[in-house]
Amino acid sequence: MANPLPKHPQLRGNYAPINFEATCHDLVVEGSLPEQLSGSLYRIGPNPKFVPEQGYHWFFGAGMVHAFHFAEGRVDYLNRWARTPKFEAEWSAGGSLPMRLMTDPDTGAIQSDRRNGLANTHIIWHANQLLALEEGSHPFSLAPESLDSLGYGHYAGDLAGAMTAHPKIDPRTGELHGFGYMSDAVGSPAMTYHVVDAQGGVKRSDTFIAPYAAMVHDFAVTRDYVLFPVFPLTCDLTRVPHLGSPFAFESEAGAFIGVLERGAPVSAIRWIEAPVCFIFHYLNAWNEGSVITFDAIDFPVAPNFPDINGQLPGFDEAQGKLTRWRLDVRTSQIEREVILNVPAEFPRIDDRYAMQHHRHGFLATASTRQRGDGGLFHEISHFDFETGNQQRWDAGEGNGVSEPVFVSRGAAEGEGWLLATVYDAERHASSLVVLDAMALADGPIAIARLDHRIPHGFHGSWRDSA
């Protein structure tokens, strides 16, 4: 029997899960959906059916996928849980179950079961597969139209360790570049680097040793280099009794960026010392010769995690800012500067410009961030790196926007639409907005209304119609 949700800040308001799957045909639309908008938007996030009485964290809820299918000026909606083995076991048991761990009988090392995860962080379309991702497991496949769960095994067991939730797809070749961390065991400094071709074949999946064991959520790839940034959200199992988690921000450990030339063996990785901060997400990266430029959302420390003494970040420390980094591989010199001085997260680009010099960036921002607002972002912003201009659309204070997903409609960079879900606090329901990516200040071209909430989630992507 499912029990009432425990009292927890990440189980209240629009962080609370919804307890149903639904299919809604031909949503009511204000404005007019572009006829050229033909395909599917997928969103994913934590939506646990069952939660533990103690120790819940937003990052560890079972995944639910929300899909909007567009065709001929209409849009349909459906949502489904990603029915991983863990989810199915909880469904049968009628309650929350711990992550399944495996122990090496010889060493005692503990490792997560790579095919018993949450599938809750990102969802992408690659090699004709819809893949739900989270960084502790292998990719989990779903049917693109019905969202039926198809299971693990798309890469036929050829991955060494887990796959990040943030792989990078090379728009020129269709290759997917990914990585995993703590590949050997929980608390291990081992990482992996994966390359998967456009047909879904694993070309390489190699293990290397990072400076220390840490949570590494995202990474960066250019046409010539792969960057493995390691910031000190370190992992130590001995912390669990007094912190409740093995992860803590340990500034004394320093920060490092592993630099690897594409195609080179992982033994050639160079570890370059970097400024101590924390980054969840990178906008994009490119290189001109030996100088690599990347844009990221920098936090002074890791938000939502304690330091090694159990102290949680203060309000100001929990705000991320769009920052540009320049790294000279020859000299190991790093420069960085804040580009947009407002709280921001979930950066996206026109994906056709991945791994090359980009001009336009799109983000969720909060020009009026207040204590106790639950970390909501109420704006979708466009930043022009060439002119320095910012445009934004404000959904209204107290409302919450998702990560904006770009859909192209023309040849020029940034020529297209931004799609995002918006939680309306007054209606206690969500909508999908369609915005002109180059004219955000004009407001939505169309708004598709739902009669229920889409809980705050993580990431999403677009799939063109076949």
Q: For 292-318, write each residue's pLDDT tens digit.
A: 999 999 999 999 899 999 999 998 899
Q: Which residues pair with 191 in a beta bridge?
A: 181, 208
Q: How far is CA 20 from the centre of its chain?
A: 24
* Ranges assigned E (strand) in 113-224: 122-126, 129-133, 140-142, 149-151, 168-169, 176-181, 190-196, 202-209, 220-221
Neighbours of 103 (CB within 10 A): 11
Q: What is the pLDDT of residue 372?
A: 67
CB neighbours of 31 closer than 8 A, spacing ≥ 6? Answer: 434, 444, 445, 446, 447
Q: What is the pLDDT of residue 244?
A: 85
Q: Pick out the chain residues at pLDDT < 50.
A: none
Q: What is the pLDDT of residue 54?
A: 77
Q: What is the pLDDT of residue 53?
A: 78
Which residue from 160, 203, 191, 323 is spatially nearest to 260, judged by alpha carbons?
A: 191
Query: What 3-state DSSP class applies to 258?
Result: strand
Q: What is the pLDDT of residue 9?
A: 86
Alpha helices in 143-274 (DSSP H): 240-243
How many whole angstroms separate alpha carbon 358 and alpha carbon 355? 9
Q: What is the pLDDT of residue 455?
A: 97
Q: What is the pLDDT of residue 5?
A: 84
Q: Give residue-wise pLDDT tens across range 329-338.
A: 999 999 999 9
Q: What is the pLDDT of residue 363?
A: 98
Q: What is the pLDDT of residue 132?
A: 98
